[in-house]
Amino acid sequence: MIEEGVPFPDFSLPDQDGNLVTLADLKGGKAIIYFYPKDDTPGCTVEACEFRDSAPNIPGARVIGVSPDSTKAHRKFIDKFSLNFTLLADTEQALSSAAGVWVEKSMYGKKYMGVDRTTFVLDETGTVLKVFRKVKPQGHAQEVLAAIK
């Protein structure tokens, strides 16, 4: 798991429109990179809509959501909920693994691999300023907003 004060892992992932986004693209301003399990599911929708509503109040910071979903699923999710930020398709879990959020989970006694809902706040150089682990979707965007102001 990535800790505060270390550089965020370099990456190159497609956004909802198939355009590649890299860590270098985010440098020069703060970034909020939040990892979530799946588009258009109850908790993930709450979290995304809260970031949508909070994004205009986060000065100088770019919000980026990352999940294992495809670019097509991301485009549908953005269109359905009028999301105003970028979603990255980490279909091979390369960034999720590098960030330490692709973990073994358990539900109803069945073990499987999935995303541990986590948010990273990066400074202008790509260094991790703050890590939010075991995120609860409700109220999380406000928690992040309060931490970076």
Active-site positions read 44
CA 18 to CA 88: how far, in whole Å? 9
List, in order, residues 6 or more apart from 7 with CB less than 8 Å away. 125, 126, 127, 128
As given in the structure block, the two tokens for residue 29 are 């301003």
CB burial string 47-82: b at 16+ within 10 A, e below: bbebbbebbeebeebbbbbbbbbebebbbebbeeee
CA-based end-to-end distance of the chain: 25
HSE (side-chain half, CA atoms, 13 Å) at 25: 14
Listed residue (100, 115, 98, 126) closest to 31, CA to CA: 126
